[in-house]
Amino acid sequence: MSNLSSKKINVLYVDDEEHNLTSFKASFRRIFKVFTAISASEAREILKEQKVEIIITDQRMPNETGVEFLQSIIEEYPDPIRMLLTGYSDIEAVIDSINKGQVYKYITKPWNDHELQVNIENAHEVFRLREENKDLMERLKKANEQLEFYLRQKLLD
């Protein structure tokens, strides 16, 4: 695994085709902590229970497309990095996914295991850096508050 920590990356893969879920899990379960969902509603249940860092979803699913699913979870789950996977070269879906679903990467089926692994690891690096940035901003905010308090105390002396 190319990321520095020994903790496995939590990846959620959503696809309405059972054999794709099985194939994904077989390919990546040793490298990542893989969660699979056969529908958007099942994926939402997993998101309630698990901290997921990467979400990969198929575009063409019944009831709700991948883009619609990704767009619908942005407010409640803004942090996971999103990737769209589809066997169709539908330019509208690509544009929609980037604009509405905040998609980091668009990948075509059938996927290449090595390329997909590299894309997941790169997406996780983006996730990790965003988390680190949030932590640093929080620490900076606290330091500024402490400094303001200290300056107020000095002015009152």
Q: What pLDDT does 152 receive?
A: 86
Dihedral angle, C-alpha 94, 99, 101, 102, nearest 10 °:
110
Nearest to 104 by CA among 55, 60, 32: 55
pTM as predicted: 0.80
- Distance in angstroms (rounded) separating the CA atoms of residues 26 and 44: 22
CA 78/CA 74 separation, integer angstroms: 5
Per-residue tens of pLDDT for the chain, all 157 residues: 444 446 899 999 999 999 999 999 999 999 999 999 999 999 999 999 999 999 999 988 989 989 899 999 999 999 999 999 887 666 666 666 676 667 888 888 888 999 999 999 999 999 999 999 999 999 999 999 999 998 888 887 7
Dist. CA 64–CA 73, nearest whole Å: 12
**List of domains in the chain:** 10-131 (3.40.50.2300)
